[in-house]
Structure 1
Amino acid sequence: MLETRRATIDDAELITRHRKAMFADMRDAPEPPLEEMARHFELWVLRMLASGKYAGWIISDGDRDIASAGLLVLDWAPHFLDPTGEQRAYILNVFVEPEYRRRGLAQALMSECMDEARRRGIRVVALHASQKGQPVYEKLGFTTSNEMLFVDRVIE
């Protein structure tokens, strides 16, 4: 039987494993950077869970954790989309084990994230979507934005 629960700091390793699997599934990312990311991410997500800035949910099938997602609360300047709001939310780490996909689990996790944003009074929620995930998010009302990205490749 499937059950959804709120993530705790005890779930940092699972969230990290799912994040790594998500990126491995989305791209042809080489293993060394994924491993390094995972080492740093686990410490980060522990801090964010403890501070309440990261709220996560996990779906289990019996004693197997099969899906997870998180909502990160960010300080953000008031914006014309929310003229009085000082926070924005970012949904991340949406991952469902391959054999459990196409059963509505990602949508259920997204509902948890969106409900949490509403409880916190956050009106603007962003995310980055893989090609596989984009139809799920569009059904929930997300639209494509004009965001651009710069990555400084110089590492000292």
Structure 2
Amino acid sequence: MQRTYQDIFPNQDFSHLSKTVEQYLSSETPLWWVNFTDTETVTQETSPVACLWMGNAIDQITGQRHAHLFLLYVVPEHRRRGVGRALMEYAQTWARARGDKQIGLQVFSSNTPALNLYNQLGFQTQSLWMIKPLENGE
């Protein structure tokens, strides 16, 4: 999770994200890893190159439970190879099997590659999360 945020905001400290994981990771919020096997080495060591973390949310309009994408991450050297798309297809299969009618997610507006992927997969903007930094005394 920290690598995801550091890719977009490289000068920030994201050590606080471990609290998010502790709070939300459970048997009902599965986390899947994609490992890369180096076939060039004798040991054939594997290393994670991507992950998908799904969970639950409640639709603010209908009140229905639906699948929510907490995290989709692909390490930079494995991007643009279809890994993210394959994980999103897996997420949709998982959600349909649970009986979910939709998948929700939050994406940074500056994350153009992710926005492009989600738009290509048919995701639509339902709401905007807006913030205003407050100065002392404002």
Give the gaps of 5 or more residues in structure 2: 38-45
Give the gaps of 5 or more residues in structure 1: 1-18, 80-84
Supply the AA of the counterpart residue of 1:21.
Answer: R
Match of 2:33 among 43, 58, 63: 58
Rg (Cα) greater in structure: 2
Higher relative contact order (CA closer than 8 Å, sequence separation 6+): 1
Correspondence 1:119 to 2:97? yes
Question: What's the TM-score, normalizing by structure 1?
Answer: 0.69
Supply the AA of the counterpart residue of 1:41.
Answer: T
| 1:77 Cα deviation after fit | 6.0
Moved over 2 A (4+): 74-78, 144-153
Partner of 2:41: none
> Aligned-residue CA RMSD in angstroms?
2.3
Identify if the C-alpha distance between structure 1 residues 146 and 36 changes in structure 2 by more than 3 Å, giving closer, same or farther. Answer: closer
| 1:55 Cα deviation after fit | 2.0
- Counting only pairs closer than 5 Å after superposition, residues 1-156 of structure 1 correspond to structure 2 as 19-31=1-13, 34-38=14-18, 40-45=19-24, 48-50=25-27, 52=28, 54-62=29-37, 63-76=46-59, 79=62, 86-129=64-107, 130-150=111-131
Question: What's the TM-score, normalizing by structure 2?
Answer: 0.77
> What is the percent sequence identity of the aligned residues?
20
What is the total number of aligned residue pairs between the two structures?
124
Identify if the C-alpha distance between structure 1 residues 76 and 96 changes in structure 2 by more than 3 Å, giving closer, same or farther. Answer: same
Say which structure is richer in helix.
Answer: 1
